[in-house]
Amino acid sequence: MASVEERNKASIVRFYDEVINRGNVDVVDDLMEPGFVHYGETLFPVSKAARRSRPGCRA
């Protein structure tokens, strides 16, 4: 079984590969908890739910 760190790393790698590089925002719901709160504006605007983060991930 993978450690917490290994699972977290795999999630981040998948996020960058699928969402950032390929533009596949459908995986956002799989990668982020429904109650996810994003406070930064580096990748997309501030949002308070994974589903709301999807439009900001589009290039």
Bridge partners of 38, per DSSP, are 47
In angstroms, the CA 37 to CA 21 distance is: 22
22-32: pLDDT as tens digits? 988 888 888 88
1-51: pLDDT as tens digits? 789 999 989 999 998 899 888 988 888 888 888 787 767 666 665 555 555
In angstroms, the CA 35 to CA 29 distance is: 11
The domain locations on the chain are 4-57
pTM of the model: 0.62
pLDDT given for residue 51 in this prediction: 56
* pLDDT reading at 59 higher than 50: no
Integer-rounded Cα Rg, in Å, for the chain is 11
pLDDT given for residue 29 in this prediction: 83
**55's tokens:** 């439009």
In angstroms, the CA 29 to CA 26 distance is: 7
